[in-house]
Structure 1
Amino acid sequence: MRANARFREQPAVSSNVDPAWGSTPAAPPLPAATKATLRQHFRQRRRAAVASDPAGLAAAALAALPPHLAPPRRLGLYWPVGHEPDLRPLAEGLPSPWRDHLALPAIRDDRLLYLPWSPGDPLEPDAVGIPAPTAATPLSPEELALLLVPGLAVDHRGLRLGSGGGWYDRLRTDPHWRAVPALVVVPVACVVARLPADPWDVPFPGWLAETGLHWIDPAPVPAPVPAAVPEGGSTASVATS
């Protein structure tokens, strides 16, 4: 099968780099206290940034993404919890057909899945209490064009600091899911030069901030999209790029 389409390179963001959080990748797992300290720091930083410009990230996404989306493949969003940037205005603002080709994650049977979703569809709490679609059949990797993933911070190598559940890390250990382009959604204030890493951390290819999309490596022009992708159907392998 053809790999999922990637997107054109966007101008690099002008990141607010905090060298105090620089580190080299760690061989052993990081002490829990270290991760807890980092999460507390960036949770506060993200809260302040989102409060000062609550619509900035959704507006940047709405401006940058539509030319690069490729229905019938879907855009994977997330339902915001805590002080995560709220991208629901992006979902509401996308014109058809993009608005009809979205997806949200759900935790089921101790793993993260993506389910088809459009604004207004019914939601119910998933296994960890986050609103999720009620569809029975999950989407396969080749049905997703791009994933937008919340984070507390991301560094210039694409390493993401999450909330500690490990759901996205485990998803992206699967090479088929790792072939789906994925951007960490963070305010510019949470983009740093280098974060400490655990051995199992899988870098992301870039991030979305108020200043737009940033790909760490140049992204090729999207490949042609098949005429139809059956929802929840094919589970054929996707070649990694």
Structure 2
Amino acid sequence: MADYNTIRAGATGVRTAQIDEGLRAHMNKVYGTMSVGMLITALAAWSISGLAVTDMPTAVQIGADKYLTGLGQALYTSPLKWLIMFAPLLFVFGFSAGINRMSAATAQVVFYAFAAVMGLSISSIFLVFTGISIVQTFLVTAIAFAGLSLWGYTTKKDISGWGSFLIMGVIGLVVASIVNIFLASPAIMFAISALGILIFAGLTAYDTQKIKTDYLQHAHAMDSEWLGKSAIMGALNLYLDFINLFMFLLQFLGNRE
């Protein structure tokens, strides 16, 4: 009996080590996919309205150090700007609804395409804010995001109950933001930004813990296809948390031209 218990304990220890190793690999894939998406977003935004290049034949100067490329002019001077503005929201709904019918490889390509569309959508920040303030806000966001995500990953507290309240808050932010497009109220914008920071700070911790919990709940199955799509959806959620946290912080920390 002693030998049996020893073997059983040893097998359990090996299994736990395998799960821990798999979890680390899973989280690395989530953060890696998210990071590539962030890079694509930055390049897409920069290619439209962040180019301080005077020798481009299609570049048009619109400020002291601000230029628009030909594509940027087409987007900002036509009704296409409305399509680009709302495209990421439609993209997220479509992606979330259709991911179960996609392969993991297809889902990853779609995520990167979404990241490019998001870059086009937020490219106006290069026209509104100074480059230095954008970089500074990005660094502040990165530090805050890292801390919040680490806390969500390591905390023993179950924060799954936050989900429904945070999602309701996001829906409220979307509705208020759409209404304020037409009202253009600074007071409403200030309130939206303040609430947005709090909501997406909470979502960063919540989503990180959920990614970890979902992996541990399905670790016994070790379905590579499910794990691949789970990592992409986790990357999408954390990517959205980071982007929104950055955009709301920029309203407070960014210096306008």
Q: Which has the higher Rg, Structure 1 or Structure 2? A: 2
TM-score, scaled relative to structure 2: 0.21
| Larger strand proportion of the pair | 1
| Larger helix proportion of the pair | 2
Ranked by relative contact order (alpha carbons within 8 Å, sequence separation 6 or more), the top structure is 1
TM-score, scaled relative to structure 1: 0.22
